Amino acid sequence: MKPVAIFRHTATEGPGYLAEFLNKRKIPWQLIAIDAGDAVPSSASAYSGLVFMGGPMSVNDDLPWIPKVEALIRDAVAQDVPLLGHCLGGQLISKALGGIVSRNPVKEIGWGKVQVSDNDIARDWFGDIQNFAAFHWHGETFSLPQGATHLLSSAHCTNQAYAIGKHLALQCHIEMTAEMIATWCAAGADEVAASGASPAVQPVGEMQKQMVHKLPRLNSVAIQLYSQWAKGLTP
């Protein structure tokens, strides 16, 4: 089987729980570390799927790798290679496919409930799951590209996920591990403190406290979504 390519855009936002999922199922994967200078492939043909992780930058920033990633995303769609985007990754997919990424009304940082949309495609992805506490860390949001079906929303961000066939884009983070949450809380403490006026930003201590009972549920949601996505991987 061809490997899944996982694109990392900053050192602290790696594949997380997705790596555990792929390893347990013996699905090969390859890390492409944009933050370490790895080149963006010109074609998706060498991979069974493409995954894009998060990052602190905006897809609207003038960064040399962003147009290359957008071209790769469009190539993957043309070749029917499934895409999976987490936060920045979902925004990259949206922008590459004609959507718009803009500032969200408020920052969302920490645990927050998301609601699964009432449509058949959402039920295909989420099964019996109707809502869950997702982990958030974003200040921007994406619009849905042409042909997309809305999957998730939260009280503070309407577009939390969408699907286009076998492609899945998420604004929230389902890939979290305890280690990642601790690292992000340490690295982002100043941002959290500066964003305290937002009704959707939790103190770092509260994020870590809630993690004890919310992370296992989030991991189970991730298994559901990753399992559905993996059905579309090309051999």
pLDDT for position 196: 82
Cβ pair 40, 34 in contact under 8 A: yes
pLDDT for position 109: 98
* Of 228, 227, 229, 217, the residue nearest 24 (C-alpha): 227
Cα torsion angle, 23, 231, 222, 192, sign: positive
With a CB cutoff of 8 Å and minimum separation 6, the contacts of 184 are 12, 137
pTM attached to this predicted model = 0.98
Tell me how far apart the alpha carbons of residues 75 and 122 are, in angstroms, rounded to a whole number. Answer: 25
**What are the structural domains, with CATH classification, of the chain?**
4-230 (3.40.50.880)
Quick one: DSSP state of residue 213? H
Tens digit of pLDDT per residue, the chain (235 long)?
999 999 999 999 999 999 999 999 999 999 999 999 999 999 999 999 999 999 999 999 999 999 999 999 999 999 999 999 999 999 999 999 999 999 999 999 999 999 999 999 999 999 999 999 999 999 999 999 999 999 999 999 999 999 999 999 999 999 999 999 999 999 999 999 999 889 999 999 999 999 999 999 999 999 999 999 999 998 8
- Length reported for the chain: 235
pLDDT for position 211: 97
Tell me how far apart the alpha carbons of residues 207 and 34 are, in angstroms, rounded to a whole number. Answer: 28
